[in-house]
Amino acid sequence: MVVLKSINNAKILYQKISESPVFALSVCVKCGSRDEKENEHGLTHFFEHMVFKGTEKRSAEEISAEIEGVGGELDAFTTRDNLCFTCKIPSDHFDTAMDVVFDMLLNPLFREEDILLEKGVVKEELRMSKENHDDSGDELFISLIYPEKELGRSILGNEKSIDSFSKEQLFKYKDTRISGENLIVSCVGSLEENDFFKKIENYLSGLNVSGCIPSSEKQQFNTFEKKVRREGMDGVNLYLGFETFPSNDRNRFALSVLNNILGDGMSSRLFVKIREKKGLAYSVSSFPVYHRNEGMLYIFASTSKGKEDSLKEEILKECFSLAETITENEFERAKNQLKGSLSMGLETALSKAMFNAKNTMVYGKPYSFEEVIKMIDSVEFKQVRSLAQGILRKEKMALLLYGNF
């Protein structure tokens, strides 16, 4: 059972698992790169880096040493919609996890020398991303779908924006984004419920109740079909997207079933036809991409120079015919596979903590595993066919061929 309480306007979730050897903590901030102003491009990701550089009571080395010294792991990531921090640690050291993570978020120092040093680190990360053909193709694809929009910008920023960041900007970001109304804290462990909430209330006593409200603007999906040459690539990557809907849409689980049939796994339509039968690609897959107010069914494939047109033709043929060719057997297999994958994906304390946080982020409450299984079971065959007819259409399509033609 997951218990949800509010502390300083933050949503706090706790799931007690008796005898759990691990305490897991997930802190999600409901602001991402899409919420940055023009002069803040890449600031969320830079903030993520900078809170690891030291606080009023810990150096950067002490932050990592306190967690890793007892076998724990500390991580963070930035998306277009969110900023997230995670920690897992042996249960006896749950206090250490909460103390370190909330110290990082609420008491960072942002020293000038650390800011200068980390700008170089992030620019190296940016360089590596640009040199990675898959990443650079993905960034280009997203920028073409959302041109001149926040969603279309790189999460990392650019060299000019990174160089512009200041200590004042970082503190302003902390004060406006790291606030109760923007925070979801999800924990899983063996600690008694009352003890947990007493502990975490102490750690969050200095948290601002209100702050910057995330953007609610829907950003327009741009349809196109383009070829872009990239020097130095041996082959060609295909990026294909069909506009769908945001993460809280009632058709979310129907899309999961549809995606499973189309391109999720070795038994999917695309894998069997494109790789196993046609030999056009080693890698081909599909997956739903959800944002706060938008969504896309994303297909990626990579092939050799000269095969790209055949690859595109066969993938589109499979997509456009799917609505009329889905079978009841495929439908039932997809639902069973989704339920099995969900079950196996929740075998760790951290995966449970992140699952509870994500559901609360999307739906406003922590749906249980059993409730999500019921939602998958409730998807009907005709619903999936209707969804395929509605979204797998040329007028909803963005397609990029990227490589050495």
41 phi/psi in degrees, rounded to 5: -55, 110
Residue 13 has pLDDT above 90, yes or no: yes
Report the chain's terminal Cα–Cα distance, integer Å.
Answer: 55
Distant-in-sequence, close-in-space partners of 140: CB < 8 Å, separation ≥ 6: 228, 400, 402
Question: Which amino acid belongs to residue 361?
Answer: M
For 334-345, what is the mean pLDDT? Answer: 97
CA 238 distance to own-chain centroid = 21
Mean residue pLDDT of the chain comes to 97
Residue 212 has pLDDT above 90, yes or no: no
For 315-326, what is the mean pLDDT? Answer: 98
Residue 320 has pLDDT above 90, yes or no: yes
Give me the pLDDT at residue 272, please: 98
Rounded Cα gap, residues 37 and 49, in angstroms: 19
* 359, burial (CB in 10 Å: exposed 0-12, middle 13-18, buried 19+): buried
What confidence category does residue 277 fall into, taking pLDDT thresholds of 50, 70 and 90? very high
Distant-in-sequence, close-in-space partners of 56: CB < 8 Å, separation ≥ 6: 103, 107, 109
Residues of the chain with pLDDT > 90: what percent?
Answer: 95
Residue 211 has pLDDT above 90, yes or no: no
Residue 215 has pLDDT above 90, yes or no: no
pLDDT, one tens digit per residue, over 299-315 is 999 999 999 999 999 99
CATH superfamily for 2-203 is Metalloenzyme, LuxS/M16 peptidase-like (3.30.830.10)
For 8-14, what is the mean pLDDT? Answer: 97
For 250-265, what is the mean pLDDT? Answer: 98
Burial pattern 242-264, b for ≥16 Cβ within 10 A else e, equals bbbbebeeebbbbbbbbbbbbbb
What confidence category does residue 177 fall into, taking pLDDT thresholds of 50, 70 and 90? very high
Hey, is 129 helix, strand or coil?
helix
> Cα torsion for 179, 362, 100, 187, to the nearest 10°?
130
Closest CA to 100 of 58, 61, 69: 58
What confidence category does residue 94 fall into, taking pLDDT thresholds of 50, 70 and 90? very high
> Cα torsion for 19, 24, 25, 31, to the nearest 10°?
-130
Pick the CATH number of 224-403 from 3.30.420.10, 3.30.830.10, 3.40.50.300, 3.30.360.10: 3.30.830.10
Burial pattern 17-39, b for ≥16 Cβ within 10 A else e, equals beebebbbbbbbbbbbbbbbeee
Give me the pLDDT at residue 210, please: 85
Place of tokens 């769908």: 244
Structure tokens at 279: 């030999």
Rounded Cα gap, residues 305 and 355, in angstroms: 41
Q: Range(s) for CATH 3.30.830.10 in the chain?
A: 2-203, 224-403
Residue 232 has pLDDT above 90, yes or no: no
Q: At what angle do helices 112-131 and 133-145 cross, to 10 degrees?
A: 90
Report the side by side order of strands in the sheet with 183-189.
2-7, 10-16, 183-189, 22-29, 83-90, 73-78
What confidence category does residue 164 fall into, taking pLDDT thresholds of 50, 70 and 90? very high
Report the side by side order of strands in the sheet with 295-304.
224-229, 397-403, 235-243, 295-304, 283-290
Handedness of CA 338, 341, 342, 343 (dihedral sign): positive
Residue 204 has pLDDT above 90, yes or no: yes
For 383-387, what is the mean pLDDT? Answer: 98
Place of tokens 């997809």: 334
Distant-in-sequence, close-in-space partners of 30: CB < 8 Å, separation ≥ 6: 81, 82, 182, 183, 184, 214, 361
Overall size of the chain counted in residues? 405
Residue 214 has pLDDT above 90, yes or no: no
